[in-house]
Amino acid sequence: MSIETVASRYAHALLEIGVETNSLQPITEQMAELAKAYQTSAELRAVISNPLVSLADREAVLTDICAKMGVLPVVKNTLRMLVQRKRMAILPAMSRSLRKLADEHAKVVRAEVSSAKALSDDYVRRLQSEIEKLTGRKVLLERKVDPALIAGVVTRVGDLVIDGSLRTRLVDLKAQLLSS
């Protein structure tokens, strides 16, 4: 079975626990943080997936990390189970899958808006309501500043990118002029 399929099975289980115990949001966030830590720290990966280190030692490392990050017991248990079953490699995919499932459950969509300069709050509010109208869901908007866009706004809603930046138009213009 591919990593993605396995990850989605685990994510489904975690989603149900989250819904039952009413703690879906913290679980999702903590899983994302742990996945990030796992991805960015080569040392952590080297220790946790290393068969030469005994299981007890590895679990001790995990317990320390979990204590430091202050995660919920259910998240800690998930990690311990992943270590025992030698499935730690699915952690990033599992976190991604869980995020998607949680968003679907809460009926929210994530959007990201990048602009060359910081946007006014009023504009962002209008943009948010427009996206909500478009998708029919609650929108969690993340702001980003990217001077490379020159001017204009790039909005990303899920897979959909609405690109109104000057940079893209200049690139298009160049391509069109070169092709004709």
- Which residue ranges make up the site for other proteins (CB under 8 A)? 2, 4-5, 8, 96-97, 152, 156, 158-164, 168-169, 172-173, 176-177, 180
**At 112, which amino acid appears?**
E
Rounded Cα–Cα distance for residues 62 and 45 (Å): 11
Residues near 160 by Cβ (< 8 Å), separated by ≥ 6? none
Minimum CB distance to other proteins, residue 2 (Å): 7
Q: Identify which of residues 1 and 52 has a Cβ nearer to other proteins in the complex.
A: 1
Minimum CB distance to other proteins, residue 164 (Å): 3
Rounded Cα–Cα distance for residues 61 and 153 (Å): 44
Q: Identify which of residues 23 and 168 has a Cβ nearer to other proteins in the complex.
A: 168
Strand 138-145 relative to strand 160-163: parallel, antiparallel, unpaired?
Answer: unpaired
Q: Identify which of residues 80 and 156 has a Cβ nearer to other proteins in the complex.
A: 156
